[in-house]
Amino acid sequence: MNRSAGSARVGGRRVPAALIAVATASLLLTACGGQDTSASQTSPGQNATAGAAGGATPGSGTGQAVAALDRSVPQEVSIPSLGVSSALETLGQSKDGVMTTPKNPDLAGWYEPGPTPGSQGPAVIAGHVTWNGADAVFKGLKTLTAGDKVEVKRQDGKTATFTVDRVEEYPKKEFPTLEVYKNLDHAGLRLVTCGGEFDADRHYYPNNVVVFASMTGVA
């Protein structure tokens, strides 16, 4: 993500909670473009059911997935291997359906209409990679590897620990939305930021970096 991110819109049809994360994801992908970008991506919400529950094999990094928790608002995300610890902004939609993005480049944001980290489904946390040329909260995201841990503190007092399954980088124009955000039979997490070489003229990153992780512990 970079400052004054672009955006996308969600269609007017209300989708079930399990599918909202899919519509959410497309917004986040376009939202982490640079300022003055006009790139957009159609929400795939109504097509989400085309994908069977699944995604990255739960716990394929290390350890085994554990039972999903009830919904509870996330308060903080930590990535020990990167030295990242961030309170979480709440991301939503403006009244005209435009996706909001983190206002503070040092903070990540959780998309509130989607699953909460620890509940069943692909919860989404997004963060800027740079901001006005300076490193931002998710600058090092693409350096994560399978087995790395991500911890999310929740409002219910529990800390959900996720294990990274894999890290991928996709061109925004060819983003495999269904593969990344399809329904899951376990508690998953997607960390999203921008990647590729920054186009200073367009204020735009051409790619998205996505970390796939599965919940493998609860404290």
pLDDT tens-digit series, residues 102-135: 999 999 999 888 899 999 999 989 899 999 889 9
Residues, the chain: 219
Q: What is the DSSP string of the chain?
A: --SS----B--SS---HHHHHHHHHHHHHHHTS-TT--------GGGGGGSPS--SPTT-SSS---PPPPP--EEEEEEGGGTEEEEEEEE-B-TTSBBP--SSTTSEEEETTSPPBTBSEEEEEE--SEETTEE-TTTTGGG--TT-EEEEEETTS-EEEEEEEEEEEEEGGG--HHHHH---SSEEEEEEEEES--BTTTTB--EEEEEEEEEEEE-
Percent of the chain with pLDDT over 90: 52
Residue 114: name the closest of 43, 23, 47, 212 by CA: 23
Average pLDDT in the chain: 78
Contact 1, 138 (CB under 8 A): yes
Kind of pairing between the strands at 84-91 and 108-111: parallel
End-to-end CA distance of the chain: 31
Q: Which whole number is the average pLDDT over 92-106?
A: 77
Q: Is the pLDDT of residue 25 over 80?
A: no
What is the value of pTM for the model shown? 0.78
Q: What integer pLDDT is reported at residue 60 of this predicted model?
A: 57
Percent of the chain with pLDDT over 70: 69
Any idea which residue has 């070489």 for tokens? Answer: 197
pLDDT band at 93 (very low <50, low <70, confident <90, very high): confident
**All structural domains of the chain:** 17-218 (2.40.260.10)
Structure tokens at 172: 């925004």
| Tens digits of residue pLDDT in 158-192 | 999 999 999 999 998 888 888 888 999 999 999 99
| Tens digits of residue pLDDT in 58-73 | 655 556 889 999 999 9
